[in-house]
Structure 1
Amino acid sequence: MRVCALSMDALSKGRTPMDRRDFLIAGACAAALGGAQALKPRRMVNLLDGPELDPVIPRKFGRWTTDFDTEIVAPKVPGSLEDKLYSEIVSHTFRDTAGKLPSVMLLIAYGRSQSDLLQLHRPESCYPAVGFSISNRKLIDMSLPKGQNLPAVEMTATAGDRVEDIVYWSRLGEFFPQTAGQQRRDRLKAAMQGYVGDGALVRASTLRGADNNTPYFPALQSFFGDLVQGMPNAQRKVLIGTDRAKALA
Structure 2
Amino acid sequence: MNVWLRNSILLALMLAASGLAFALRPTQKIAEQGPKVDLETMIPQAFGDWREEQQSATQIVDPQQKAMIDKIYKQTLSRTYVNGEGYRIMLSISYGSDQTDSMQVHKPEVCYPAQGFVLQGKQVGSLKTSQGSIPVTRIFATLGQRSEPVTYWTTVGDRVVASGINKKLIEMSYGLTGKIPDGMLIRISSIDPEAAKAYAMQDRFAAQMLAGLAPEYRQRVAGNLQLN
TM-superposed CA distance for 1:135, in Å, is: 3.3
Deviates more, 1:104-113 or 1:27-36: 27-36
Work out whether residues 98 and 181 of structure 2, in 8 Å CA contact, stay in contact via their aligned partners in 1: yes
RMSD: 2.8
User: Paired residue for 1:236, among 218, 224, 227?
Assistant: 218
Query: Who is 1:159 aligned against?
Result: 143
Q: What's the % identity of the aligned pairs?
A: 24
Once the two structures are superposed, residues 92-112 of structure 1 have per-residue CA deviations (whole angstroms, 9 ceiling, x without a partner) of: 10112133xx31000011122
User: Paired residue for 1:60, among 26, 46, 52?
Assistant: 46
TM-superposed CA distance for 1:199, in Å, is: 1.2
Distance 1:55 1:124, change over 3 A: same
Matches within 5 A, 1:54-133: 54-70=40-56, 80-99=67-86, 102-133=87-118
Q: Distance in 2 between matches of 1:151 and 1:219?
A: 17
Q: Residue 236 of structure 1 aligns to a residue in which SS?
A: helix
Letter of the 1:142 partner, please give it: L
Q: Distance in 2 between matches of 1:233 and 1:73?
A: 28
Q: Distance in 2 between matches of 1:20 and 1:171?
A: 47
TM-superposed CA distance for 1:171, in Å, is: 0.7
Distance 1:98 1:130, change over 3 A: closer
TM-superposed CA distance for 1:31, in Å, is: 2.2
Matches within 5 A, 1:126-145: 126-145=111-130
User: Paired residue for 2:21, among 35, 57, 64?
Assistant: 35
User: Paired residue for 2:9, among 20, 23, 34?
Assistant: 23
TM-score, reference length from structure 1: 0.78
Q: Distance in 2 between matches of 1:188 and 1:98?
A: 45
Q: If you compute each CA radius of gyration, which structure gives the higher value, 1 or 2?
A: 1
Letter of the 1:177 partner, please give it: V
Count of residue pairs the alignment pairs up: 223
Q: Distance in 2 between matches of 1:143 and 1:176?
A: 14
Distance 1:157 1:167, change over 3 A: same
Q: Distance in 2 between matches of 1:48 and 1:160?
A: 45
TM-score, reference length from structure 2: 0.85
TM-superposed CA distance for 1:73, in Å, is: 9.0
Q: Distance in 2 between matches of 1:85 and 1:17?
A: 48
Distance 1:50 1:174, change over 3 A: closer
Mapped pair 1:182 → 2:166: yes
